[in-house]
Amino acid sequence: MKRGNEIELQIESLAFGGRGVARFRDFVIFVNQALPGDLVRAKIFKKKKKHAEARVIELIKASPDRIDPPCPYFGACGGCKIQSLSYDKQLYYKRQQVMDSLVRIGNFQDVEVLEALPSPDRIYYRNKMEFSFCNRRWLLDSEIAQKEQVEDRDFALGLHAAGFFDKVVDLKSCLLQSEESGRIVNHTRKYCLDHGLTPYNVRAHTGDFRFLMIREGKNTGGRMINIVTRNYQPQIVEPLAMSLMQAFPDTTSIVNNVTDNMGNVAFGDKEYLLYGESTIDEQLGENRFRISANSFFQTNSVQTERLYDLVKELCEFDGTELVYDLYAGTGSIGIFISDAVRQVIGFELIESCVRDARANADLNHVQNCEFVTADLMNLASYIPTKEKQPDVMIIDPPRAGMHPKTVQAVLDIAPRRIIHVSCNPATLSRDLEILCADRYRLNYVQPVDMFPHTGHVEVVVRLDRL
């Protein structure tokens, strides 16, 4: 098998991330835009020692689980990669991915994995979107077929084309956040084109406008528009903010984040308030959370509340517990469970998140939560005295999982119960193998669909000390 070969493949399963999985002789082949049950002709574009990657060039026979995707940009846009798979099968394969990771990476053989918890909202579920400005617009197949000159090819505002960091699909609508969000994108695009404002060129690191970030309080109605630029130029962003304010008067906040960083992330080094408040609020259960432009907050508000309810239920609190909340972020889990426990101590590396967590505790008049700035690689230095021995530990690490030193510190602290929330079944399984070697038993595994139509899945597990 060589790069450029075309082969016929039967797609057997779905990999984490949303690619179809086929086998050809001794090779595993990951196939873009292929679904389990598809028979395809595919072209190899990358070959490694034990696997290859391919793209579909002909759909010979469609899977019975294929549906017509509702988004007109499906296939070109890099988001919602499995929107053409029926939702019940999306949940089925997300559960399978969790099971496969636990067996293949964690070496668990007899663990029960529950059916994936579906998202109540399957469109317009995100409370945050980052739309990219770009000087290289991706042409849709329909535009190419017209064989006519396409206007404004050097300006796009939307999401990255699948597989490209330097090209953007110019979206006139998007099913991820809200209809109003789409209108804000279209208004901003028209304003920029009418006034000759320049989009960012990721290769040359030129151009003014980098991102349009929109945050919504799904349970409060708040809205923040964050215009991310390469330089601070009030003479061009303030009139745009005024135009947005007039067109969308129920907007809570308009800010300008500025970053000259070469990285393609919508995180500002400096922030300027252009209109209204500097934050918006979101409500989860009985608690209200203040969110700034650069705050981390779970992006599916409705499903997040169900996730946190599950965490609380699995902990089986009786009101006497001391809880350690590792990777506490802005304190949302710790504050959410605070009414059921004696005390929560949250540990978080990023100082701004710790400040937000403390402010959120004050906002909700929560007095039994303490948030500590701590490098969790050195969690061993926070090993408590007997009086501070935690009964329960809640762990919600980033996608890379826990550092080995953190895993060992968790074993040394040895709480009687651990609730682990993970957005990556592979790193979760890696860490669970160590935790469950001889100290803990894995008693509960619940996949949670936080991101419908994508290949990603959240997992909540419970470990009980032997």
Q: Determine whether 353 is an active site residue.
A: no
- 206 lies in some domain: yes
- 264 lies in some domain: yes
pLDDT digits (tens, 9 = 90+) for 163-222: 899 999 999 999 999 999 999 999 999 999 999 999 999 999 999 999 999 999 999 999
- 74 lies in some domain: no
- 113 lies in some domain: yes
User: Would you state the pLDDT for residue 387?
Assistant: 66
Quickly count: other Cβ atoms within 10 Å of residue 193's Cβ: 14
Query: 11-23: string of b/e by CB count within 10 Å (b at 16+)?
Result: bebbebebbbbbe
Q: Which of the listed residues 257, 284, 311 is the one where a domain comes to its end? A: 284
Q: Are residues 305 and 427 in the same domain?
A: yes
- 164 lies in some domain: yes
Q: Are residues 173 and 211 in the same domain?
A: yes
* Secondary structure letter of residue 150 according to DSSP: P
How many domains does one find in the chain? 3
Q: Are residues 230 and 336 in the same domain?
A: no
Query: Which stretches of the chain score pLDDT less than 50?
Result: none
User: Would you state the pLDDT for residue 191?
Assistant: 98
Q: Are residues 323 and 393 in the same domain?
A: yes
User: Would you state the pLDDT for residue 386?
Assistant: 63
Q: Are residues 134 and 115 in the same domain?
A: no
End-to-end CA distance of the chain: 49
Q: Are residues 353 and 445 in the same domain?
A: yes
pLDDT digits (tens, 9 = 90+) for 232-247: 999 999 999 999 999 9
- 83 lies in some domain: no
- Identify the three-state secondary structure at position 442: strand
Q: Are residues 269 and 336 in the same domain?
A: no
User: Would you state the pLDDT for residue 429?
Assistant: 97
Q: Which of the listed residues 284, 319, 344 is the one where a domain comes to its end? A: 284
CATH number for the domain that contains residue 427: 3.40.50.150
Q: What are phi and psi of 262, to 5 degrees?
A: -70, -20
- 158 lies in some domain: yes
Q: What are phi and psi of 273, to 5 degrees?
A: -80, 125
CB 63 within 8 A of CB 39: no
- 347 lies in some domain: yes
Query: 197-231: string of b/e by CB count within 10 Å (b at 16+)?
Result: bbbbbbeeeebbbbbbbbbbbbbbebbbbbbbbbe
Q: Are residues 354 and 397 in the same domain?
A: yes
Instruction: Find where tokens 């409060």 sit.
Output: 220
User: Would you state the pLDDT for residue 262?
Assistant: 85
Q: Are residues 368 and 400 in the same domain?
A: yes
Q: Are residues 107 and 138 in the same domain?
A: no
User: Would you state the pLDDT for residue 385?
Assistant: 66
Catalytic, out of 71, 134, 315, 423: 423
Q: Are residues 380 and 438 in the same domain?
A: yes
Residue 239, token pair as written in the block: 């009139």
Q: Which of the listed residues 251, 284, 317 is the one where a domain comes to its end? A: 284
Q: Are residues 263 and 396 in the same domain?
A: no
CATH number for the domain that contains residue 40: 2.40.50.140
Q: What are phi and psi of 376, to 5 degrees?
A: -70, -10
CB 38 within 8 A of CB 11: yes
User: Would you state the pLDDT for residue 200?
Assistant: 95
Rounded Cα–Cα distance for residues 278 and 225 (Å):
10
CATH number for the domain that contains residue 158: 2.40.50.1070
Q: To which H or E segment does residue 234 belong?
A: helix 234-247
Domain that holds residue 279: 128-284
CA distances for 450 relative to 5, 122, 126, 401, angstroms: 37, 9, 9, 18
User: Would you state the pLDDT for residue 148?
Assistant: 66
